[in-house]
Amino acid sequence: MPGKNLSRDEAQQRASILAVDGYQVRLDVTSAPDRAAGTFRSTTTVTFRCSQPGADTFLDLLAPAVRSVTLNGRALDPATAYDGARVHVDGLAAENVLTVEADCAYSRTGEGLHRFVDPVDGETYLYTHYEPADARRVFANFEQPDLKAPFTFTVTAPAAWDVWSNAPHENVDAEGDARTWEFAPTKPISTYLTAVVAGPYHVARDHYRRELADGTALEIPLSAMCRKSLAPHFDADEILGVTKLGLDFFHEQFDYPYPFGKYDQAFVPEYNIGAMENPGCVTFREEFVFRSKVTDAAYEGRANVILHEMAHMWFGDLVTMRWWDDLWLKESFADFMGSYGLIGARTRYSSAWVTFANQRKAWAYRQDQFPTTHPITADIRDLEDAKLNFDGITYAKGASVLKQLVAYVGSEAFFEGARRYFKRHAFGNTELGDLLEVLEETSGRDLRTWAAAWLQTSGVNALTPQVTTDAEGRITELAVLQDGDVLRPHRIAVGLYDRDADGVLVRTGRIELDVAGARTVVAEAVGLPRPALVLLNDDDLTYCKIRFDEESLATLRTGLGDISSELARALAWSAVWNLTRDGLMPARDYVALVLRFAGQEGNIGVLQSLHAQAKTAVDLYADPAWRGEGGRLLADGALRELREAVPGSDHQLAWARFLAQTAGGAEHLGLVRGLLSGSARIDGLEVDQELRWSLWLALAASGQAADEELAAELEADNTASGKHHYTQCLAARPTAEAKAAAWSAVIDSDELPSALVEANTAGFSIPAQRDLTALYAAPYFKLLERVWAERTIEISMRIVGGFFPIAQTDEQTLAEADAWLAGHPEAAPALRRLVLERRDDLARALRAQACDRA
């Protein structure tokens, strides 16, 4: 496969003849503070064996220039050996030493070695991010997960900097204005897991100690770091406290000592994802350093990510999938363990499974209903496929299925299987069969049938209760109907809910059973009084969409907020949202539920989800003729709840942000401006910097923020975050000039970092401004292939997704998307997948509008 891609077949062929003994990588980044310097020196020496002497192979490398290539002492001509993506070598010996010296490029897209200059103090920061295949932007290597090897890094950097990598440093030599950091060899790891972080970071240090069963002690140095200008906001004690709880928990569960020596956690700027599990040197997006007040849901989310990445030290780093087909072997487990660990590690976040049911599974349900959905064990043909496979199926659906598996085999059998898996495959690579083997051993169950149904098929089932009663109101039959292309076995609980003396909906009965086939009778329900609400999948044991019989749905319309159980209430909210997305409940009915009951919702994470979903319901799923009224209702509701919320509470802050998102009328915008100027006040509401930007965005989108006002706010908050908000505000202004400028900034130049690409597309694509952006639909479809060919895949994905004309929600735009797909059958499969998914979102919106109109 030509170019920057790498196919599975090529990777398998290369792995069949090569075994890598080790890498020595030397990087010189002393040029980094010079903004005019675009490259750094990279020298790789890789020692490897070849089972077919005389064969040829290639290393992966994306670099502006290659200075020299030397194989077993023989110099190769870089002009012929290097084609821009691969270093080709031939005449291999049984044992080989290959050295490649190159000039590699500093990145502004978060791929490879990213360079960031802090606008606050002018300091320069570096960090790497590679998954799935960007280590080749920093050093030459065999870029595939199953060619593991030890890595020894040596990094020369400015003398005032510190440097971190996967292993501890063994020596630091100073010479002039530079220091050279020599790191110990790593354990055998995959290329995408290597890491370098360098710069004048602020660092907090701690230590973890654990007595092991053999009488020895495990000592793990801990650190957490961020940019110096963020240090006043860095709650390192909280971060390191969660870290130590997690290390205790995972050692208890996995019975395999943490294998990577130290545990550094770097919070870095302009990061493209949430975090990355580089062993010994985990990287996180610095938005997890909260510079203004956030709700407790944000702290829970950060703690979840900390535990998610820690779980990867075992699931993914110690034992790694052979190829990206089995990406789920690490991501599904880590996603599950993030929530499981919040409870098991005894953190203060006791509602982790509520968050999982309401938020993570919503992502999975959406992804699983695209025409591009795939089994959890996916068919990944190449690296572009792999990049797109970091999705709701691999993470959230996989985690949901694992949650069901734990219920199916029992938690002790599950974790004993994990222990055997780590010990049996430590520092190796695995496939699905390796996991099933150990779980069958520990559970005594045949899991091949289970795997075939759950891991090797796609799509989500819908479960619906069917209730018949006699004249006295007692159940004569309760059946569970299963719908879907593939009917799967489900272990579920059926919750029966009635009102108590205080009018609260409480569970009066629970029946746990296996559901199989199209119709399953719940025999234990016969003779019971008909409850007000039948809630399938109570306790959220399986992965499915749940529906309601008419009487239960009527109960929810009048009393959803009265459900006493936080988890049951979250499941009900999730279910009515799925009904709305599926065009089975009018969008205005969903909005009415939110307006009636969201003020009663105690779980702040659920409340914030309701806000986002209600806004989507109005913007995309409501009849266009009702959008204006729907938007006013949301803004009125936000204002009412803001004024009634407990002063200083998380709920007050959430409602203030929602008001900023929905404000459109004079009363709402007048309050927004008053809060900014200080002429208006809500008792207990602190209008800090992040909230200020939310309020300015509301004014900018309404055409009521002058250029000089936005510039003054940026001057007061001249930070990376401030620049991001400012850029979004400029793009959000309701003028043709603002839209043209945002479009041009992204399309006509490749100078913007990914964070500012995202800011421009977000401001450009405000749904209420669809009349202004309509004229960009045709140019959008014309430029797709050029963008895909010329930009990195990370930037391309942001452009393709961010500029798709979803807000148009009309048949003409749908026809344009269909015409592009029909006319470009040979376009890159990953590009076609992105367009097809956005096209499906658009078609879903049109179906939902038809339901709302009717």
Task: List the one residue out of 595, 600, 710, 716 whose CA is nearest residue 658.
Answer: 595
Provide the residue count of the chain: 854
Phi, psi of 87 (to 5 degrees): -105, 110
CA distance 147 to 188: 9
Under 8 Å between Cβ of 491 and 404: yes
Count how many Cα atoms sit within 13 Å of the Cα of residue 21 in the half-sphere of its side chain. 11
Three-class secondary structure of residue 242 per DSSP:
helix
Mean of pLDDT over the chain: 96
User: What sign results for the dihedral spanned by CA atoms 54, 60, 62, 67?
Assistant: negative
Find the helix or strand (DSSP H, E) in which 219 lies: strand 217-226
- Confidence band for 841, pLDDT divided at 50, 70 and 90: very high
Q: The tokens 């109005």 sit on which residue?
A: 618
Q: Model's pTM, two decimal places? A: 0.96
As a whole number, mean pLDDT of residues 236-263 equals: 97
User: What sign results for the dihedral spanned by CA atoms 52, 53, 55, 58?
Assistant: positive
Q: The tokens 């569960």 sit on which residue?
A: 253
Question: What CA–CA distances, in Å, run from 173 to 25, 27, 155, 170?
Answer: 17, 14, 10, 10
Burial 400-435 (b: 16+ CB within 10 A, else e): bbbbbbbbbbeeebbbbbbbbbbeebeeebbebebb
Task: List the one residue out of 653, 654, 647 whose CA is nearest residue 614.
Answer: 654
Under 8 Å between Cβ of 317 and 334: no
Give the pLDDT of residue 1. Answer: 33
Q: The tokens 């909230």 sit on which residue?
A: 691
* Residues facing residue 75 across a β-bridge: 70
What secondary structure does DSSP assign to 9-76, as a single string?
HHHHHHHHHEEEEEEEEEEE-TTTT-TT--EEEEEEEEEEEESSTT--EEEE---SEEEEEEETTEEE
CA distance 127 to 23: 20
- Confidence band for 666, pLDDT divided at 50, 70 and 90: very high
Under 8 Å between Cβ of 794 and 763: no
Left (φ > 0), alpha (ψ -120 to 50) or beta: where does 73 sit? left
Q: The tokens 């409480």 sit on which residue?
A: 506
What letter represents residue 732's amino acid? Answer: A
As a whole number, mean pLDDT of residues 731-753 equals: 96
What letter represents residue 215's amino acid? Answer: G
* Active-site residue identified among 309, 331, 566, 837: 309
Under 8 Å between Cβ of 781 and 816: yes
Phi, psi of 766 (to 5 degrees): -60, 125
As a whole number, mean pLDDT of residues 747-760 equals: 93
Q: According to DSSP H, which parts of 209-295 are helical?
A: 236-254
Phi, psi of 167 (to 5 degrees): -105, 160
Give the pLDDT of residue 213. Answer: 82
Three-class secondary structure of residue 199 per DSSP:
strand
What secondary structure does DSSP assign to 107-176, as a single string?
BSSSSEEEEEE-TTT--EEEEEE-TTT-GGGTS-B--STTS-B-EEEEEEEETT-EEEESS-EEEEEEET
What letter represents residue 466's amino acid? Answer: Q
Using a 10 angstrom Cβ sphere, with 0-12 exposed, 13-18 middle and 19 or more buried, the burial of residue 77 is exposed
Task: List the one residue out of 817, 743, 721, 806 whose CA is nearest residue 778.
Answer: 817
Find the helix or strand (DSSP H, E) in which 505 lies: strand 505-515
And the tokens for 283? 């990287």
Under 8 Å between Cβ of 788 and 820: no
* Residue 212 in this model has a pLDDT that exceeds 90: no
pLDDT per residue as tens digits for the range 334-363: 999 999 999 999 999 999 999 999 999 999
As a whole number, mean pLDDT of residues 56-72 equals: 97
Give the pLDDT of residue 3. Answer: 62
Give the pLDDT of residue 513. Answer: 94
CA distance 322 to 326: 7
- Confidence band for 389, pLDDT divided at 50, 70 and 90: confident
* Residue 155 in this model has a pLDDT that exceeds 60: yes
Question: What CA–CA distances, in Å, run from 142 to 88, 329, 740?
Answer: 11, 22, 43
The percentage of the chain sitting over the pLDDT mark of 70, rounded to a whole number, equals: 100
Give the pLDDT of residue 701. Answer: 98
What letter represents residue 840's amino acid? Answer: D
* Residue 2 in this model has a pLDDT that exceeds 60: no
Q: Is 309 a catalytic residue?
A: yes
